[in-house]
Amino acid sequence: MTQVYDRVALIGLGLIASSMFWAIKRSGLAQEVTGFARSQETRETARRIGLCDRVCDSAREAVEGADLVVLCVPVGAMEAVAKDIAPALKPGATVTDVGSVKRHVVDAVAPHIPEGVHFIPGHPLAGTEHSGPESGFAELYDNRWCLLIGSENTDTAAMAKLRSLWEGMGANVEEMDPDHHDLVLAVTSHAPHLIAYTMVGVADDLRRVTDSEVIKYSAAGFRDFTRIAASDPTMWRDVFLTNKEATLEILGRFTEELFALQRAIRTGDGDHLFDYFTHTRAIRRSIIEAGQDTDAPNFGRGQVTGQKKD
Ligand code: NAP
């Protein structure tokens, strides 16, 4: 693989940034990768494990001279970081991000990007329930989607380079409008996470089932919910606060469907339940056919977890 950028700066050194670093190194996509995290603890961990060629003590120092700056912090922190680094950005550089919500990031970050610097938001649809600098791995983006947000004003050369970087890290790239992105992700990721958080919360609340029973007899369905509900609280708080409308729209529809299924159970309408479950099973099959999950029993997990999600 050929080098795409001379210098890449990663701001925020958690799961997404560390996976980017290892994937960039795997394929030699940049000559130097600098990094910054707000806590000294994370910076020290990064230095200890060799995460980034150079770990800097300020975000400004990390972005100086960088051709690509990637904002890898929670969505709610993007604006403050953009404001902080703006004076140090190199003319002609590209700023991108990996945030799970796009309209908010566009509105919060774009006003701080200086003239002559390109801003192309992005979102890799890949992740795990783990976070922090030690959770990343080079293969995270292999055969996963990365959505890039372009507009009629987007510099085509800057977009092409960013696309090459993501493809070099193993991802398939598609361009999308920010509002459409937020609606799609509300369906595929945000609402399911909220439902998982709720389901685990409900089980925890049930006094008839003791905590130890919930854990001891944890069946596949509940276990999958607990994995999703173990995701980073800061990240997910920010997702819901910043993708309010689309998430509420999908949850409204979810509630209607839930009521219909509740009614089918109460009235003994087995045909309704059977048809519904047949339809959902077909959706699962099409996800496997699209190469976005494995058909192996127990999601191919065996004894080890490490399921991908976004
Ligand atoms: P993570 O592992 O929790 O790492 C977050 C990083 O951001 C840490 O380095 C943290 O610094 C830093 N940070 C947190 N709050 C900050 C603040 N207020 N100001 C400055 N820095 C701050 O998170 P992640 O999973 O890599 O997620 C990063 C971004 O990727 C988020 O926007 C998320 O929406 C998006 N994303 C996540 C996934 C996923 O599944 N995890 C998938 C796709 C996209 P310290 O370590 O010093 O606290």
**pLDDT tens, residue by residue, 124-148:** 999 998 999 999 999 999 999 999 9
The mean pLDDT value for 22-49 works out to 98
pLDDT band (50, 70, 90) for residue 302: low
CA distances (Å), 305 to each of 7, 130, 216, 230, in order? 34, 11, 18, 13
Q: DSSP 3-state assignment of 173? A: strand
Residue 107 CB neighbour total at 10 angstroms: 12
Atom of ligand 1 nearest to the CA of 16: 26
CA atoms within 13 A on the CB side of 246: 24
Name the residue type at position 265: I
What average pLDDT is seen over the chain? 92
Take residue 79 and report the two structure tokens written for it.
């604006």
- Residue indicated by tokens 């050929």: 2
| pLDDT tens-place string over residues 207-218 | 666 667 777 777
Q: How far apart are CA 258 and CA 244, in angstroms?
A: 21
Q: How far apart are CA 262 and CA 272, in angstroms?
A: 11
Ligand 1 centroid, distance to 122 Cα (angstroms): 14
Ligand 1 centroid, distance to 106 Cα (angstroms): 17
| pLDDT tens-place string over residues 271-291 | 999 999 999 999 888 888 888
More confidently predicted of 283 and 39: 39
More confidently predicted of 211 and 179: 179
Mutate to test the pocket of ligand 1, among 11, 38, 85, 101 (most ligand atoms within 8 A of CB): 38
Ligand 1 centroid, distance to 71 Cα (angstroms): 9
Ligand 1 centroid, distance to 12 Cα (angstroms): 6
Q: How high is the pLDDT of residue 209?
A: 63
Backbone dihedral angles phi then psi of residue 4, each to the nearest 5 degrees: -105, -45
Nearest CA to ligand 1 atom 23: 14
Mutate to test the pocket of ligand 1, among 51, 70, 78, 98 (most ligand atoms within 8 A of CB): 98
Determine contact, residues 114/82, Cβ cutoff 8 Å. no
Closest to 144 measured CA to CA, from 170, 117, 175:
170
| pLDDT tens-place string over residues 50-102 | 999 999 999 999 999 999 999 999 999 999 999 999 999 999 999 999 999 99
Q: How high is the pLDDT of residue 11?
A: 98
Ligand 1 centroid, distance to 73 Cα (angstroms): 4
Nearest CA to ligand 1 atom 48: 39
Q: How high is the pLDDT of residue 202?
A: 84
Ligand 1 centroid, distance to 273 Cα (angstroms): 40
Q: At residue 105, does pLDDT exceed 70?
A: yes
Take residue 282 and report the two structure tokens written for it.
């077909």
Determine contact, residues 129/227, Cβ cutoff 8 Å. yes
Name the residue type at position 108: A
pLDDT band (50, 70, 90) for residue 309: very low
pLDDT band (50, 70, 90) for residue 203: confident
- Crossing angle (nearest 10°) for helices 178-185 and 244-267: 30
List all residues whose CB is within 6 A of at least one atom of ligand 1.
Answer: 12-17, 37-39, 42, 72-75, 77, 81, 98-100, 123-124, 127, 131-132, 232, 235, 310
Atom of ligand 1 nearest to the CA of 239: 34
Per 3-state DSSP, the chain is made up of helix, strand and coil in percentages (nearest 5) of 55, 10, 35
Ligand 1 centroid, distance to 158 Cα (angstroms): 24
